[in-house]
């Protein structure tokens, strides 16, 4: 029985693409998928988020916030992936941080049988480091990289201080990501 979904998560607007590939159980909720995305992408889970699947909005209901949009937001804690995703090549949009608008495309690549030797969820691949939080979205991220990589830029030192360290845009530690997934999902 195919009860594992292979998803490719791509941060839109980045070139080369910043992406992760994960294997998740089809019974996980969108709330759980949000946690997975936060861990594998390297986000800090400090902003609002929302999924959109075939025009349906799924996220954390916040009465005072949702009233402004006029559309119903389905509670992510009540919706499983298998109830919405039915086959390969389906896309899910995920936005994290409505200010910086980190827009992601989640592509269902394939459905797989579970393997008892694997602890799910698991990250099976990825490329490049995720942008730091609150850097101004995609335009701010690329401006930040320009400043950090130009030691003569007048804002170079200030940007390094804001970052707290040098941002290695190539860094992606799959083992560390999987350690965090195990800790979050299996240490409760």
Three-state DSSP class for residue 146? helix
Q: Which residues of the chain have pLDDT under 50?
A: none
Q: Which residue has the tokens 């090549």?
A: 89
For 160, the 3-state DSSP assignment is helix
What domains, with CATH codes, occur in the chain? 2-128+172-186 (3.10.290.30), 130-171 (no CATH)
pLDDT the model gives residue 107: 97
What integer pLDDT is reported at residue 148 of this predicted model?
87
């Amino acid at each position: 029985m195919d009860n594992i979904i292979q998803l490719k998560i791509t941060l839109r607007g980045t070139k080369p693409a910043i992406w992760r590939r994960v294997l998740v159980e089809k019974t996980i909720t969108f709330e759980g998928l949000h946690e997975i995305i936060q861990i594998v992408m390297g986000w800090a889970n400090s902003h609002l988020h929302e999924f959109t699947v075939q025009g349906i909005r799924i996220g954390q209901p916040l009465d005072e916030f949702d009233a402004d949009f006029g559309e119903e937001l389905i509670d992510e804690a009540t919706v499983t992936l298998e109830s919405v995703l039915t086959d390969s090549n389906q896309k899910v949009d995920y936005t994290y941080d409505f200010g910086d608008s980190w827009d992601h495309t989640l592509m269902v690549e394939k459905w797989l049988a579970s393997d008892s030797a694997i602890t799910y969820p698991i990250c099976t691949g990825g490329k490049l480091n995720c942008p730091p939080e609150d850097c101004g979205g995609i335009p701010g991220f690329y401006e930040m990289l320009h400043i950090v990589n130009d030691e003569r830029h007048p804002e170079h030192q200030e940007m390094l201080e804001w970052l707290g360290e040098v941002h290695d845009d190539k860094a992606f530690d799959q083992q560390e990501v999987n350690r965090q997934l195990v800790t979050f999902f299996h240490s409760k």
